[in-house]
A and B are shown apart, each in its own frame.
Chain A
Amino acid sequence: MSVLSLRLDTLPRDIDVDDEGLFSILSNFLQPTSAPSTSEAARAVIKLGLESEGQLSYFMSAFFEIAMHLARQTPHNHPSQDRLVDLIQALRSTPASDDGQSPWSSLLLHGSGEISEIYGGKTLFLDTLVNSKLKAVPRAHFPIRKHICARQRCHADGR
């Protein structure tokens, strides 16, 4: 297993959380040698989320954005691709601290917006990438954005 060369400074935009802290946890976890366990990495992410000043939902979106940024840098046939998935599953299954449901169980919901951004407005498949080169693309061309936003509103409303 080759050591991964991971970078945070190529992230397309600044995010208003401790992105360097998240990057440190994730980049250490994804290295094939001397890496923390999945549960240790999950605990570190959750701890950082608790220490974050903003809403946890925003932190989870930021986590997913950085996770996908690192997934881009991880070869498709590298074992760390599955390690990243394992970490997300570990976070989703985090036990609740009280009688309610753990907020981390909705991690995929908060990640869905980040994915739709990539597929719908920034980096499409190669043919579109050739044409658009990350230029702003009219949102009307991408019905998924509207759909995802509607889904998130429904979840936020408890529907």
Chain B
Amino acid sequence: MQGRDATPTADEITGWLNLNSFLSRLWKSVGSVPDPEIQFEFYACVALRSALEGYSSFRGSARREEDRKADGALDCDVAVAAEWIDQAGPLIYAASFGQDGNGRESELVTAPGALYHGPEGLCGEHWEFWKKRFGELSTQDGVSEKSKSLALKAKLAMESIE
């Protein structure tokens, strides 16, 4: 690791996607148990928020979408979010809507991204917002073709899960 503002290396970006793939696969294998010990719902929520909501960093300000496109941050975050949908989409959906249709209250919440103004945690509003945003990214100017493809695939997967 170099300086505080250095751009992430390719290895760091790839490693982040790989690690999230592992966690989402682990959740898929463990399943939706009452007390999973690992807060899979939280990690899924943060991954989707980071890619789709203009995630607010710990400094409290969201980075501009154009900057995210330019430095590869959006590509990485879209790939990570799409991986969570691919591996654990049905679990995310179940946690969002719950048996009573009201969603499962998240024990862990953090500040929402700049583009989303609904309730925290996994909930129906979040699910619908993320699905809409995947659709928008799949046709948006400045988004890489790879990310467009991943976003469209994720949107279609979400529709299929419903």
Give the B-binding residues of A (Cβ under 8 A): 68, 71-77, 81-82, 84-86, 88-89, 106, 108-109, 111-112, 115-116, 118-119, 123-135, 137-138, 141-144, 147-148, 151
Chain A residues, CB < 8 A from B29: 85-86, 88-89
Q: Is B129 an interface residue (CB 8 A)?
A: no
- Distance to closest chain B CB from A103 (angstroms): 14
Interface set of B (CB-CB < 8 Å, partner A): 1-8, 12-23, 25-26, 29-30, 36-39, 42-43, 46-47, 50, 55, 57-59, 63, 68, 71-73, 76-77, 80, 83, 107-110
Q: Are A73 and B18 in contact (CB under 8 A)?
A: yes
In the assembled complex, the CB of B142 is this many whole angstroms from the nearest CB of chain A, namely 17
Cross-chain contact A133 with B5 (CB below 8 angstroms): yes
**Shortest 8 CB-CB distances between A and B: which pairs?**
A76-B21, A71-B22, A72-B15, A108-B37, A125-B50, A109-B37, A126-B73, A141-B58
A147 to B8, CA, bound (A): 29
Instruction: Say yes or no: B19 contacts A72, CB within 8 Å.
Output: yes
Q: How far is the CB of A102 from chain B (nearest CB, A)?
A: 15
Asked if B16 contacts A123 (CB within 8 A), the reply is yes
CB-nearest residue of chain B to A147: B108
Q: Given A85-B26, A127-B63: A112 and B15 within 8 A (CB)?
A: no
Point out the residues of chain B lying under 8 angstroms from A106, CB to CB. 37
Contact of B58 with A112 in the complex, beta carbons under 8 Å: no
Which residue of A72, A81, A119, A151 has the most chain B CB atoms within 10 A of its CB atom? A72
B25 touches A85 (CB 8 A): yes
Return the chain A residue nearest B36 by Cβ.
A108
Contact A71 B19 (CB under 8 A): yes
Residues of chain A within 8 A (CB-CB) of B16 are: 72, 123, 125-126, 129
The one of A82, A127, A142, A148 in contact with B73, judged by C-beta atoms closer than 8 angstroms, is A127
Q: Please tell me if the beta carbons of B38 and A133 are within 8 angstroms of each other in the complex.
A: no
Chain A residue nearest in CB terms to B109: A143
Q: Is the CB–CB distance between B21 and A108 below 8 Å?
A: no
The answer on a CB contact under 8 Å between B4 and A131 is yes
